[in-house]
A and B are shown apart, each in its own frame.
Chain A
Amino acid sequence: MATIHDDIESWLAAAVHEELSLDERREFEAHLVSCAACRALHQDQINMSNMIQNTLTAERPDNAFEQRVLSGFRRNVPQSPVNVISLFGRVLQTRAARITAVAAVLLGLTQLGTWLTVDPHGSELAVRAASPPGSLAGLREQLADQSPRAPAPDFLDAVMRDARTSAGPATASRPKSGTESTRRPDEMSAPPPVAAAQSRSRADAATTATAPAPPSPPADAETERVVVTGSYIPPAPSDNAVDQLAVTTSSEDSAVSPGATPGPPVGVPDNRKLIRNAQVELEVVKFDEAVQRITAFAAEDRGFLATSSSERQANGKLRGQLVVKVLPETLDAFLMKLRGIGEVKNQTLGTDDVTKQYFDTDSRLNNARTMEQRLMDILKTKTSKVADLLEVEKELGRVREQIEQMQGSLKYLDAQIAFATVSITLAEKDMNLPAAFLLKRRAQLALFSTDVEKTFAEAKDVVDGAKAQISSSSLDRDSTGEATARLTLLIVPEEADALIDRIKGMGRVQNYNEQTDRIAQGGGTGMSDTAKVERDKVELSITISRNEQEPALQTTHLRIVTSEVTDKVARLKESAAKQGAEVRSSSFNRTPDGEEFANVTLRVAMKNYPALLSSFDQLGKVKDVSVHREDRRGVINEETAPADISIQVYSEGNIVTDESGIIATIRRTLTQGAAALMWSLRMIGVAVAFLAPWALAIAALVWIVKRVSRARAARRADEREES
């Protein structure tokens, strides 16, 4: 029980205050039984505790103490109306409020970012998307608001009323458009009111213009009717579609009004004066046959062939123009018939309304006739003076001239109106077939010759003896005495191959190439099995140049080390001459160090090459032999092909370098050491320069963090002090 004894004071206190647990109490009592000192202390402790209890009980606050404190508090802190700021602070105390506030701030920032970055279109969309979930009703309401402004539905009704009179597929597809319009009224309201008004006025104009609408041929009406039916199909009639509707209504009206009778002119009131004409471009198999059939067609419909012209091309194909006059009523039927003759390449149809011009002229004619009658009356009465009569006569003549003029133009117009003009352009098929082909053969030959002039003269001789002619020849000699000859020959095709072979034999062929062109003659560039093929003269260009310009078949580089350079070079040249080699270049150098270099370049025929190379071994030590061979096509004779050998004969210098010996070595070592030191210094500098900003930044960060935490600690201490 040493622990209790050692720590008896806390045990005593806890025992006196009855704060010992059951076990502790048992332990403690056991110890007291065994330890007399502790027992005495415990007794003292109880006595003292009672004393303290007595003393402090006297000092205890009275019963009214709490009430006093409370009233004092109420006095000091009056129940004031809630302070807004404190309320705010209190609200912020709750975690939920804090989270909400942070979320609100974030959301606000996000919204701000959206406003700043997204274009107004997108935001509008977003607004639309953000409308409440039950927005179908809202949307409908919105549309209801918009609909009075949107004239489209009214207009659509009008169109539908108009269209009710028309028959066919348009009627069938109409309900579709109706449902569409109710389902998507927002899009229907899309066209701005101005455009809608425009389209409406256009539609009105079309409706009122029904009577005087220019008669359109059935073919066109057909196509337009197709457009009509199509225009009702688009699911969402847009601005464009509304316009289209307007257009189609007008066309529909004009197309429908002719009614059951197919020919448009029949439906048109008789007093309209129209000149109809058409241009057709046809491709036919046989020109003459086509002309006959067209004439027959014209005659069937009481028409006639007015003019015809034809022209034969180089390839035997015919091309021509016909002008046919037919009755206007039968024009369309005639055009349909034309399609049977050949392939229609192009067709245009035109109508010229001359009503106004015609009736103007007619009324002016009537006036003139009245005038004429009155003048005649004046003449008949003969009551006036002779001078007046003469004047009347003169006037009468002028009026009659006018009458004749107008009658003439009316007649012309009548003629024009009475018959429609059809201009037909006929062309036979395969118009661009060539009439013939020309085979043109061109050849280029490059020759090497040891004697350019001689070969040139030989070539000329050969040509003179053959069926060929020289179209140009030249011989150039440059400053170094190198000659190049050029010849251009025209050879009869039959002899060409033989002649070319003979010329090839005059020298070594560097290259030879030839090309053959097939040139179409007359007509186009197309293919033809029937056109005949002719052979043109063969053009041969020959270039003769000297052997030296010929690149070597094999190039060899080697070096020979020897002590007597000049001597060895002389011997080298000797042995080269023995093998028939040609010295192309030779040079000699001596350096201040005593080194000697001689460069020699030789050209030798391939057959002598091995012998020459082996003769070099006697001259000295052969080093660094490199061989480069370039095989070319067309080089047949390998015996005579040139091989280049470039030889460097040199001696090693006998002067000892002064950079040797112990002092030089030490100096070199020191220099290198200093350089290495400087290098490492520089590296250290670089490293410092690289690391210093980082170290500084980290130090600054640490300093700031320390300052902040110290300031916070100080503030906390202040608070504690305050409270």
Chain B
Amino acid sequence: MDFTERDMYRAAIHGDRDAFEMIIRSFSRPLFAVAYGVLQNREEAEDVVQDAFVKAWKTRWRVRDPEKFPAWLATIARNRARDVSRARRTVPLSDELDEAAEPVAALTASGDLNGEVQAALASLPETHRVALTLRYFDALDYATIERTLGLTNGALRGILGRALQTMRKRLQPALASLE
């Protein structure tokens, strides 16, 4: 992390609104990726990003180490997204069943490749999915992703490897048909 970035985080922590808005500009996309990784829903993810920044501003003084600011932002967004996902699941069981049944049927019916990819993504563990979205949305390098997710060096490779393996297995028919 270079010095100016770090200064920016520190200024934001100390209440510099301009610095915080700069952070919003540079971090809203990664946060979106994180939220999308959890929710797989654009609108909800965008709301989550909004909420996450507001909350981050209000509780910014809790961050002691400016270096960990990005990870902290990602944690807020992820927790917020989880809350949303949990709230979604508390809707009546019948609705959920309908909802769950419908997309699969639609996907199979249309044979849409995007739908299949989405379904395969949905079957991944959350962490794997978030890592993938971070990578594929913004083509972030591994180091940035590691920092954002608070992962140690090397762990991300394993996560992404397993994630893509699972995906490949799920998408084997589609891949086969491609060839």
Contact across chains for A48 and B168 when beta carbons are under 8 A apart:
yes
| B residues 49-66 touching A (CB-CB < 8 Å) | 49-50, 53-55, 57-59, 61-62
Chain B residues in 8 Å Cβ range of A57: 136
Contact across chains for A68 and B164 when beta carbons are under 8 A apart:
no
The 7 sampled A-B contact pairs (Cβ below 8 Å) are: A12-B161, A51-B174, A59-B42, A69-B46, A70-B21, A77-B58, A90-B14
Chain B residues in 8 Å Cβ range of A76: 50, 54
Chain A residues in 8 Å Cβ range of B142: 14, 17, 19
Contact across chains for B132 and A52 when beta carbons are under 8 A apart:
yes
Contact across chains for B160 and A17 when beta carbons are under 8 A apart:
yes
A interface residue numbers (CB < 8 A to B): 7, 9-14, 16-17, 19, 41, 44-45, 47-49, 51-61, 65-66, 68-70, 72-73, 76-77, 79, 86-87, 89-90, 93-94, 719-723
**B143-179 toward A: CB 8 Å interface, digit per residue (1/0)?**
0000000000000011011111101100100110011
Task: Report the minimum CB–CB distance from A18 to chain B (whole Å).
Answer: 9
The chain B residue sitting closest to A69, CB to CB, is B28
Task: Report the minimum CB–CB distance from A715 to chain B (whole Å).
Answer: 12
Task: Report the minimum CB–CB distance from B26 to chain A (whole Å).
Answer: 9
Chain A residues in 8 Å Cβ range of B13: 93
Q: Which of B14, B32, B57, B135 contacts A77 (CB 8 A)?
A: B57
Q: Which of A41, A52, A723 contacts B62 (CB 8 A)?
A: A723
Q: Which of B14, B61, B113, B161 contacts A13 (CB 8 A)?
A: B161
Contact across chains for B167 and A13 when beta carbons are under 8 A apart:
no
Chain A residues in 8 Å Cβ range of B137: 56, 59-60
The chain A residue sitting closest to B76, CB to CB, is A723
CB within 8 Å for A723 and B164 given contacts A59-B42, A61-B32, A93-B61: no
Contact across chains for B46 and A51 when beta carbons are under 8 A apart:
no
Chain B residues in 8 Å Cβ range of A10: 157-158, 160-162
Contact across chains for A52 and B175 when beta carbons are under 8 A apart:
no
Task: Report the minimum CB–CB distance from A449 to chain B (whole Å).
Answer: 111
B interface residue numbers (CB < 8 A to A): 13-15, 17, 21, 24-25, 28-29, 32, 36, 42, 46, 49-50, 53-55, 57-59, 61-62, 72, 75-76, 79, 113-114, 117-118, 121, 132-133, 135-137, 141-142, 157-158, 160-165, 167-168, 171, 174-175, 178-179
Contacts between chains A and B (CB distance < 8 A), count: 134
CB within 8 Å for A47 and B178 given contacts A56-B133, A93-B13: yes
Task: Report the minimum CB–CB distance from A344 to chain B (whole Å).
Answer: 95
Contact across chains for A55 and B114 when beta carbons are under 8 A apart:
yes
Bound state CA distance, A89 and B58, in angstroms?
12
Chain A residues in 8 Å Cβ range of B141: 19
Q: Which of A19, A87, A723 contacts B55 (CB 8 A)?
A: A723
Contact across chains for A52 and B161 when beta carbons are under 8 A apart:
no
Q: Which of A59, A66, A86 contacts B28 (CB 8 A)?
A: A66
Bound state CA distance, A73 and B28, in angstroms?
11
Contact across chains for A69 and B117 when beta carbons are under 8 A apart:
no
Chain A residues in 8 Å Cβ range of B54: 73, 76-77
Contact across chains for B28 and A51 when beta carbons are under 8 A apart:
no
Contact across chains for A66 and B24 when beta carbons are under 8 A apart:
yes
Chain A contact residues: over half helix, strand or loop, or mixed?
Answer: helix
Contact across chains for A66 and B29 when beta carbons are under 8 A apart:
yes
Chain B residues in 8 Å Cβ range of A90: 14-15, 61
Bound state CA distance, A16 and B165, in angstroms?
12
Chain A residues in 8 Å Cβ range of B162: 9-10
Which has the most chain A C-beta neighbours within 10 Å: B58, B79, B157? Answer: B157
Contact across chains for A79 and B29 when beta carbons are under 8 A apart:
no
Bound state CA distance, A68 and B50, in angstroms?
9
Bound state CA distance, A45 and B76, in angstroms?
32
CB within 8 Å for A73 and B157 given contacts A51-B117, A65-B32: no
The chain B residue sitting closest to A53, CB to CB, is B136
Chain B residues in 8 Å Cβ range of A723: 55, 59, 62, 72, 75-76, 79
Other A-B pairs beyond A14-B160, A48-B167, A69-B50, 9, CB < 8 Å? A9-B164, A13-B157, A17-B160, A51-B175, A53-B136, A56-B136, A61-B29, A72-B50, A720-B75
Chain B residues in 8 Å Cβ range of A70: 21, 24-25, 28
Contact across chains for B14 and A55 when beta carbons are under 8 A apart:
no
Bound state CA distance, A134 and B136, in angstroms?
71
Bound state CA distance, A627 and B72, in angstroms?
103
Bound state CA distance, A362 and B128, in angstroms?
140
Chain B residues in 8 Å Cβ range of A722: 59
CB within 8 Å for A12 and B50 given contacts A66-B24, A70-B21, A93-B61: no
Chain A residues in 8 Å Cβ range of B50: 69, 72-73, 76
- Which 4 residue pairs spanning A and B have beta carbons closest together? A10-B161, A9-B161, A55-B117, A13-B160
Bound state CA distance, A719 and B42, in angstroms?
27
Bound state CA distance, A10 and B24, in angstroms?
32
Bound state CA distance, A90 and B11, in angstroms?
10
Task: Report the minimum CB–CB distance from B69 to chain A (whole Å).
Answer: 13
Task: Report the minimum CB–CB distance from B74 to chain A (whole Å).
Answer: 11
Bound state CA distance, A207 and B121, in angstroms?
119
The chain B residue sitting closest to A92, CB to CB, is B61
Bound state CA distance, A723 and B161, in angstroms?
30
Bound state CA distance, A722 and B82, in angstroms?
12
Chain B residues in 8 Å Cβ range of A52: 117, 121, 132, 136, 167
Chain A residues in 8 Å Cβ range of B168: 41, 44-45, 48
CB within 8 Å for A9 and B133 given contacts A66-B28, A723-B75: no
Chain B residues in 8 Å Cβ range of A66: 24-25, 28-29
Bound state CA distance, A90 and B12, in angstroms?
11
Contact across chains for B53 and A69 when beta carbons are under 8 A apart:
yes
Chain B residues in 8 Å Cβ range of A9: 161-162, 164-165
Chain A residues in 8 Å Cβ range of B61: 89-90, 93
Q: Which of A11, A51, A721 contacts B171 (CB 8 A)?
A: A51
Bound state CA distance, A721 and B86, in angstroms?
14
Contact across chains for B117 and A73 when beta carbons are under 8 A apart:
no
Bound state CA distance, A715 and B63, in angstroms?
15
Chain A residues in 8 Å Cβ range of B59: 722-723
Contact across chains for A48 and B25 when beta carbons are under 8 A apart:
no
Bound state CA distance, A461 and B152, in angstroms?
132
Q: Which of A13, A56, A65, A721 contacts B164 (CB 8 A)?
A: A13
Bound state CA distance, A43 and B109, in angstroms?
28
Contact across chains for B117 and A47 when beta carbons are under 8 A apart:
no
Bound state CA distance, A484 and B88, in angstroms?
131
Chain B residues in 8 Å Cβ range of A87: 15
Chain B residues in 8 Å Cβ range of A53: 136
Chain B residues in 8 Å Cβ range of A7: 161
Q: Which of B15, B36, B79, B175 contacts A59 (CB 8 A)?
A: B36
Bound state CA distance, A58 and B53, in angstroms?
24
Chain A residues in 8 Å Cβ range of B72: 723
Task: Report the minimum CB–CB distance from B108 to chain A (whole Å).
Answer: 16
Bound state CA distance, A432 and B42, in angstroms?
132
